[in-house]
Structure 1
Amino acid sequence: MPRDRLIPLQAEDISAFAKSLRQQLSAHQEANAALPGHLSLLNMLARAAGHRNIQSLKASQPSTSQAASAVLAPTKSLPPARGPRHPDLSELADRALRQFDPQGRLMRWPSRHQVQRYALWGLWLHFDSRRRYTEPEINEVLNRQHCFGDHCTLRRELVNMKLLARSDGGREYRKLAARPEADLLPLLRELRERSTLGATAD
């Protein structure tokens, strides 16, 4: 089968990339005796780099003409290595924002507890307070909104933070009404905007 074009792959954090790929391979190994096929492995690599799948990665690549224009265009200044990179965010909220990709999906599970809490608020946005969810439905929403293959941890932490309520032995979930602190509001606005843009692009 001919290869139409090269597909560049860029990982923001090689350590997070490796961890995500390892988790995906472990999950595949538990479910299948055989090694992942070519397409499955491509999808794993794409997800580890923060994309939904290989098709999403391909779609994100600029065309040849766009790439040529980018070479001619003046380069943007890099964000500072330290301190908030987003002008409207506190340093903690900015750290949380860096865990999300341009489509508003959580790329990695933060190591710092307070950043984890901020990131969970970003996932809370995607649930509807007017409906009840089954556990598979909760997992489906979470899997759309993160890239490292651990919806169980995210679901448990959302319940622990009282952002989701679980009842009937875990058969039913609902979004709880919660009031984010003022520090979180600019972060949630940014994540909502990213998710909207990502949905429009899809």
Structure 2
Amino acid sequence: MSRDLIPLSLKDVSTFAKTLRAGLDQPPSHLEMLGLIARSAGYRNYQHMRARLASTPPSLVDEKAVQRAARHFDEAGDLARWPTRMRMQELCLWVIWSRLPAREVMTERGISTRIHALCSFRDAAQIRRGLVEHGLFTRATDGSEYLRVERAPTPDARALIARLFRRP
């Protein structure tokens, strides 16, 4: 027998706990009930749950921004034109970042060659500069070495990458 997952979202866990307690014959105290709810959700206790959820911003995706950024790519997923707006540039750079190798030191010529393979237009210098300015790559002071910075893409960037590289 398979179990279906049913997502549960609560605006106020305290009200939920009070309502749940009202239906029990011998209910635990309100604080004990909050602790039980938190542990059932995978947290150590109620304070742990509050701290973790407060530090996690909502991961809402700006679909319009993703849609606009996707227009800058061709059918093959290559960057067709450089966006003028900084926000769009950042989203497009995340796509380039995702297609460049991790933990591999590259020379200026090596990264330029790879960028040219990912873009329909030939302006690797602008892309390299953008990758460094947005903190997606580090560059040696003399510009001889480039290294991808490993960090999680933003929710919008993840959505754009997924949209461009869906497998049919």
Out of 82, 89, 106, the residue aligned to residue 109 of structure 1 is 82
> Secondary structure of the residue that 1:136 maps to in structure 2?
helix
Deviation (angstroms), 1:186? 1.6
State the match for 2:140 in structure 1: 167
Find the aligned partners of 1:91 and 1:128 in 2 and give their Cα distance. Answer: 29
Find the aligned partners of 1:107 and 1:89 in 2 and give their Cα distance. Answer: 22
Residues 132 and 138 of structure 2 are in contact (CA less than 8 Å); yes or no, is this contact kept in structure 1? yes
Residues 89 and 187 of structure 1 are in contact (CA less than 8 Å); yes or no, is this contact kept in structure 2? no
Deviation (angstroms), 1:91? 0.3
Listed as ranges, the gaps of 5+ residues in structure 2 are 1-60
1:23-72 deviations in Å (ceiling 9; x for gaps): xxxxxxxxxxxxxxxxxxxxxxxxxxxxxxxxxxxxxxxxxxxxxxxxxx
Find the aligned partners of 1:131 and 1:192 in 2 and give their Cα distance. Answer: 23
- Off by >3 Å, runs of 4+ in structure 1: none
State the match for 2:130 in structure 1: 157
Deviation (angstroms), 1:97? 0.5
Deviation (angstroms), 1:131? 1.2
Q: RMSD in angstroms over aligned alpha carbons?
A: 1.8
Number of paired residues? 108
TM-score (norm 1): 0.50
> Secondary structure of the residue that 2:112 maps to in structure 1?
helix
1:52-71 counterparts in 2 under 5 A? none
Residues 136 and 148 of structure 2 are in contact (CA less than 8 Å); yes or no, is this contact kept in structure 1? yes
1:98-122 deviations in Å (ceiling 9; x for gaps): 1000111000011111111101111
1:155-174 deviations in Å (ceiling 9; x for gaps): 00101111011115111111
**Which structure would you say has the larger Rg?**
2
> Secondary structure of the residue that 2:146 maps to in structure 1?
strand
- The aligned amino acid for 1:120 is L
Residues 91 and 156 of structure 2 are in contact (CA less than 8 Å); yes or no, is this contact kept in structure 1? no
State the match for 1:119 in structure 2: 92
- The aligned amino acid for 1:137 is G
Find the aligned partners of 1:168 and 1:118 in 2 and give their Cα distance. Answer: 26
